[in-house]
Amino acid sequence: MAINVIMPKLGMAMKEGTVSVWNKKVGDSVQKGELIASINSEKIEKEIESPGEGVLLEIAVEEGQGVPPGTPIAYIGQPNETIVKKEAREEAAASISAEPKRQNPEIKRQEKADSPATLPAAVEKVRISPVARKMAAQANLDIQNLTGTGPGGRITKEDVQKALETKSQISRQEPAVLTQYESPALTEQPSRPLSGMRKVIAERMHRSLLNTAQLTINMKADITELKTLQAQSAQSVQRRIGAKLTLTDFIARAVVLSLQEHPVMNSTLLENSIRESENVHLGMAVALENGLVVPVIKHAESLSLSQLSAAIRTVADRAREGKLSSEEMKGSTFTVTNLGAYGVEHFTPILNPPESGILGIGATEDQPVYKGEQLERRTILPLSLTFDHRIVDGAPAAAFLKTIKQYLEDPFAILV
Amino acid sequence: METIAVIGGGPAGYVAAITAAQQGKEVILIDQAALGGTCLNKGCMPTKTLLQSAEVLGKIQHAEEFGVSVSSAEPVINWEKVQQRKNSIKDQLVSGIQYLMKKNQVTVISGNARFLTANTLRIDENSGSERFIDFESCIIAAGAEPAELPFAQFDGEWLLHSGQAMELKTIPKTLLIVGGGVIGCEFASIYSRFGTKVTMIEMADQLLPGEDTDIAAVLEERLRTDGVEVHTSASLKKLEAHTKTAIYEVDGQRVDMSPEKVLVSVGRKPRVTGLGLDDIGIVTEKARIQANEYMQTNLPHIFAAGDVTGGIQLAHVAFHEGKVAALNACGRNRKVNYKAAPRCIYTSPEIASVGLTQRQAEQQYGDVLTGEFSFGANGKALILNEPFGKVKVVIDPQYNEVLGISIVGPRATELIGQGTLMLHGELTVDVLEDFIAAHPTLSEAISEAIASTVGQAVHA
């Protein structure tokens, strides 16, 4: 009987996976364990190994097409074999239902280890009726975004129906708007589907701008002394920990210390309640060739500067290699993003919901600065803080940014 | 303190009063008769008491089948005692409501209320005096009364409404029931088992026109077995009180009869007259008060709940509406939800349903899946000597949501609670897959019917 190749479930939250490339054509023979395709989901790219030996009988999911995990994407068997798809579907269904069971104990343990106020636990629990859950899943509707009107805020069938109506109204309107601005030349250009990581980024960023009251304030920090400290200590640091402390490491540490002094900036807004997290789970945005990921350094407040530095290096490497698990990208309470390498000064980072703040780091520049009556050459670092005005007002946000500035300008405070 | 006036002390009214009082309002409740409304005094409770007496009689009559021999020749109905029992249960329940009113500090006034202005009620007290009550909000829960045929007025002697039919001095030899709805069927069940020769006529082509044909058919068959003459697609031609003559037509045949009593049960009409609704501009439509999903009339501070709105005329729906109305009158923002309101018919066998009937589901969803399980295959029903009827479950084919459950058979009105829970929770069949029903119980029939919607019943 034909073996079916199934879209794997990469993490609990995965709703859809897209086949990015097929390495084989129908009729090609494949070995067990051979890499036959690569798929991408949200923020992960993964190679698919052939589950058995034989001939690729059928490709059920074409490149660029997204399907829910558990869906058969191809069939492998003997040449001229007929494919019994009904059974394949059942097996697939069984494998989906089996998956969460296996994962459950592990996740529970993780939740216990985290403080109860941390994000993953809060996000997982959505009160929703069984039929509403099914309807949302079939319509590919993110239940995290739905507002429940049932008892205790439970999401009901009616809520999903309403959301679907709104969605179809929006999608009905869209084509009209597009055709209005679409030039004939543009339609002839090749297009690529919005899928995988791009789709996730598109949805999250759009949702962030739609659902929050975010604004950005700017400040400049004089990091001349920090640079000096970094240069002077470089050799001994290299000797002791076998690596360099980067400017990012110092900034990350300054952010962690400042968050502990200003816990309101370390809070999340979920379902009409603001939660200040005691722990700092620091998201570090990492640019990739085809997108952007935000690995999370859990309990950053418990790490020393050198430990933090090592943690940042590790997650950044794993991100670039595409090895991050979805668990490693969840639950951040604050995010740092750095465009300094590209020469950007101030910018307006977009919040990573449900967080209340994100700090943008710009490019350092040496500038003449008056120190008393004297002009001095100083290294200036532009800082851009985006915050959610629903949670934090301007003054406390500015005070937080000022604390970061003070740490950066008095680098010994970072070390202590 | 803000004053909320409640007109009517039935299920909608007294629940509204208690709810508003719990929200810290000063509540004044006005009713012209005993608290508890139709439900306690002339409806649900007294009929069920009579039914229970009939039930006991039936049990004794069938005792031999259980291997129990009763020595006396025939069990005898002591009608006076049956009536006494009914009345004492009623009195006990009414005093229970009186206690609740006192406990929640609701002022109860006996009398007739009429709107003088949109913020003032004039009360003609039963004691003869009159008084005026200013209110911030008002909840109208005046209820409904039996509808009359235009050509035949109730006389309380020969031509009866349901309230009168339960107060008869003796058990009639013959009874004609006009209207095969819930009330007609319940009275047919009661009196046929007390030995009355009952004839029923219904205009529609089935009894209980709101329920599915296959469900109503089970009851119809049982009523016939119990000696009731049932005529559907029949039309009443004449009711003449002074000659005690009734004429109806069925299958093109004209039938003359002279029943000892006639019960007319052709529906209940909302009590909208005498309240001064027009004087303050409350909109009524088709002789019922129009209320929105917040139970609000066209005047935002005046609400209506229960039978007076002409919606689903069931006491538990009235409880729900009364509560919703009161919460909204107290500034909350609550909508009514009828999705999981069970419908119970206390006949023999009982019928209970919740959600959509198969007919309604097909209209809304097109093709639906159904699952059935017969009480004939249920062990507990056999033990009870009542292996009649069935459970029917209707689910939608896309998500397999339970859309409706209909039960006809023993204890149907108790069993339906499980269906109500399923509808209320918007459960789907897969969620119920591993549901364990106790054994041996009638409930097993529900689990089996659910399983058979997806072809997985075990004992069918």
Query: What CATH number did the domain enclosing A317 receive?
Result: 3.30.559.10
Q: For residue B328, what pLDDT band results from cuts at 50, 70 and 90?
A: very high
Residues 46-65 of B with CB under 8 A from A: none
- Chain B residues touching residue A134 (CB < 8 angstroms): 399, 401, 428
| Amino acid at position A384, single letter | S
Q: In what order do the strands lie in the sheet with B229-231?
A: B159-160, B261-264, B174-178, B197-201, B229-231
For residue A225, tell me if it sits in a domain. yes
How many structural domains are present in chain A?
3
Contacts of A82 (CB under 8 A, 6+ apart): A2
Interface of A with B (CB under 8 A): 129-132, 134-135, 138, 156-157
Q: How far is CA A253 from CA A300, A392, B6, B14, B362, in A?
A: 8, 22, 65, 64, 64
> B20 near B6, Cβ under 8 Å?
yes
- Chain A residues touching residue B398 (CB < 8 angstroms): 138
Is residue A94 pLDDT above 80, yes or no? no
For residue A69, tell me if it sits in a domain. yes
* In chain A, % of residues over pLDDT 90: 34
Same domain, A281 and A204: yes
Same domain, A60 and A30: yes
Give me B448's structure tokens: 């089996």
Q: Does B401 touch chain A (CB under 8 A)?
A: yes
- Chain A residues touching residue B399 (CB < 8 angstroms): 131, 134-135, 138
| CA A308 – CA A248 distance, rounded (Å) | 10
Is residue A264 pLDDT above 70, yes or no? yes
Same domain, A178 and A204: no
Give the pLDDT score at A122.
41
Is residue A234 pLDDT above 80, yes or no? yes
For residue A109, tell me if it sits in a domain. no
**Residue B246 carries which DSSP code?**
E
Same domain, A284 and A375: yes
Is residue A145 pLDDT above 90, yes or no? no
| CA B114 – CA B110 distance, rounded (Å) | 13
Give the pLDDT score at A27.
84
Mean pLDDT of A238-254: 89
Mean pLDDT of A322-346: 88
Is residue B433 pLDDT above 70, yes or no? yes
Report which of B195, B200, B199, B194 is spatially closest to residue B181, judged by C-alpha positions.
B200
Q: For residue B346, what pLDDT band results from cuts at 50, 70 and 90?
A: very high
* Contact (CB<8Å) A131/B426: yes
For residue A117, tell me if it sits in a domain. no
For residue A379, tell me if it sits in a domain. yes
Chain segment A335-377, per-residue pLDDT in tens = 999 999 899 999 999 998 889 999 999 999 999 999 888 999 9
Domain residue limits at A15: 3-100
| CA B27 – CA B296 distance, rounded (Å) | 18
Give me B187's structure tokens: 């009275």
Q: How far is CA A106 from CA A98, A111, A121, in A?
A: 14, 9, 13
Label each residue of A363-409 as H, E or C: CCEEEEEEECCEEEEEEEEEEEEEEECCCCCHHHHHHHHHHHHHHHH
Is residue A183 pLDDT above 70, yes or no? no
Q: For residue A233, what pLDDT band results from cuts at 50, 70 and 90?
A: confident
Same domain, A58 and A169: no
Is residue A87 pLDDT above 70, yes or no? no
* Contact (CB<8Å) B430/A130: yes
Give the pLDDT score at A173.
52
**Residue B34 carries which DSSP code?**
-
**CATH code where residue A137 lies:** 4.10.320.10
Same domain, A146 and A89: no
Is residue A91 pLDDT above 50, yes or no? no
Chain segment B197-211, per-residue pLDDT in tens = 999 999 999 999 999
**Residue B208 carries which DSSP code?**
S
Is residue B38 pLDDT above 90, yes or no? yes
* In chain B, % of residues over pLDDT 90: 93
Mean pLDDT of A377-400: 95
Choosing from B161, B301, B316, B439, the catalytic residue is: B439
Q: What are the residues facing B350 on neighbouring strands?
A: B409
Report which of B282, B283, B284, B259 is spatially closest to residue B270, judged by C-alpha positions.
B284
**B contact test, residue of A134, A135, A158 with most B CBs within 10 A:** A134
- Most confident range (mean pLDDT) of A10-19, A315-324, B439-448 is B439-448
- Domain limit, last residue, from A191, A221, A240: A191
Q: For chain B, which domains are there? A: 3-145+269-329 (3.50.50.60), 159-266 (3.50.50.60), 343-453 (3.30.390.30)
> A39 near A7, Cβ under 8 Å?
yes
Q: Which residue has the higher pLDDT, B291 or A70?
A: B291
Q: For residue A188, what pLDDT band results from cuts at 50, 70 and 90?
A: low
**A contact test, residue of B324, B394, B399, B433 with most A CBs within 10 A:** B399
Q: Which residue has the higher pLDDT, A190 or B7?
A: B7
Mean pLDDT of B5-25: 97
- Domain limit, last residue, from A135, A162, A191: A191
Give me B156's structure tokens: 């309380």
| Amino acid at position B14, single letter | Y
**Burial category of A14 from C-beta neighbours within 10 Å (exposed 0-12, middle 13-18, buried 19 and up):** middle
Give the pLDDT score at B391.
98
* Contact (CB<8Å) B425/A130: yes
> B377 near B451, Cβ under 8 Å?
no
**Chain A: nearest CA to B401, how far in angstroms?**
6
Is residue B450 pLDDT above 50, yes or no? yes
Give the pLDDT score at A85.
61
Mean pLDDT of chain B: 95
For residue A111, tell me if it sits in a domain. no
- Domain limit, last residue, from A191, A220, A247: A191
Q: Which residue has the higher pLDDT, A55 or B314?
A: B314
Same domain, A164 and A273: no
Contacts of A115 (CB under 8 A, 6+ apart): A277, A278, A279
Same domain, A142 and A94: no
Mean pLDDT of B76-97: 96
- How many of the other CB atoms lie within 10 Å of CB of A189? 7
Same domain, A138 and A274: no
**CATH code where residue A79 lies:** 2.40.50.100
Closest residue on chain A to B337 (Cα): A150
Q: What are phi and psi for residue B6, nearest 5 degrees? A: -120, 125
Give the pLDDT score at A13.
66
Give the pLDDT score at A288.
82
Q: Does B334 touch chain A (CB under 8 A)?
A: no
| CA A296 – CA A293 distance, rounded (Å) | 10
Nearest to B428 among A134, A138, A156 (CB): A134
Q: Does B426 touch chain A (CB under 8 A)?
A: yes
Contacts of A251 (CB under 8 A, 6+ apart): A336, A338, A359, A361, A381, A404, A408
Give me A407's structure tokens: 């740490």
* In chain B, % of residues over pLDDT 70: 100
Q: For residue A43, what pLDDT band results from cuts at 50, 70 and 90?
A: low
Chain segment B146-169, per-residue pLDDT in tens = 999 999 999 999 999 999 999 999
Chains A–B, number of C-beta pairs less than 8 Å apart: 25
* Contact (CB<8Å) A157/B401: yes
Q: For residue B70, what pLDDT band results from cuts at 50, 70 and 90?
A: confident
- Chain A residues touching residue B426 (CB < 8 angstroms): 129-132, 156-157
* Contact (CB<8Å) B401/A138: no
Give the pLDDT score at A84.
64
Our answer to whether residue B439 is catalytic in this structure is: yes
Pairing between strand A267-270 and A273-276? antiparallel
Give the pLDDT score at B141.
98
**Chain B: nearest CA to A135, how far in angstroms?**
7
* Contact (CB<8Å) A131/B430: no
Same domain, A216 and A187: no
* Contact (CB<8Å) A134/B399: yes
- Chain A residues touching residue B432 (CB < 8 angstroms): none
Secondary structure of residue A408 in the 3-state scheme: helix
Mean pLDDT of A21-38: 84
Is residue B234 pLDDT above 90, yes or no? yes
For residue A115, tell me if it sits in a domain. no
- Most confident range (mean pLDDT) of A34-43, A309-318, B101-110 is B101-110
Q: Which residue has the higher pLDDT, A43 or B272?
A: B272
Closest residue on chain B to A130 (Cα): B427
Same domain, A234 and A159: no
Q: What is the dihedral of CA B152, B154, B160, B163, to 10 degrees?
A: 140
Give the pLDDT score at A113.
40
Closest residue on chain A to B431 (Cα): A130
- How many of the other CB atoms lie within 10 Å of CB of B434? 6
- Chain B residues touching residue A130 (CB < 8 angstroms): 401, 425-428, 430-431
Same domain, A263 and A228: yes
Chain segment A97-117, per-residue pLDDT in tens = 434 333 444 444 444 444 444
Is residue B196 pLDDT above 90, yes or no? yes
This prediction's pTM: 0.60
Give the pLDDT score at A120.
41
Q: Which helix (H) or strand (E) holds A292?
A: strand A291-293
Only one residue has tokens 């005792």, namely B63
Phi-psi region of B105 (alpha: psi -120 to 50; beta: other; left: phi over 0): left
Only one residue has tokens 């990015």, namely A20
For residue A113, tell me if it sits in a domain. no
Chain segment A50-76, per-residue pLDDT in tens = 888 888 888 888 887 888 888 888 888
Is residue A281 pLDDT above 70, yes or no? yes
Mean pLDDT of B295-300: 95
Is residue A309 pLDDT above 80, yes or no? yes
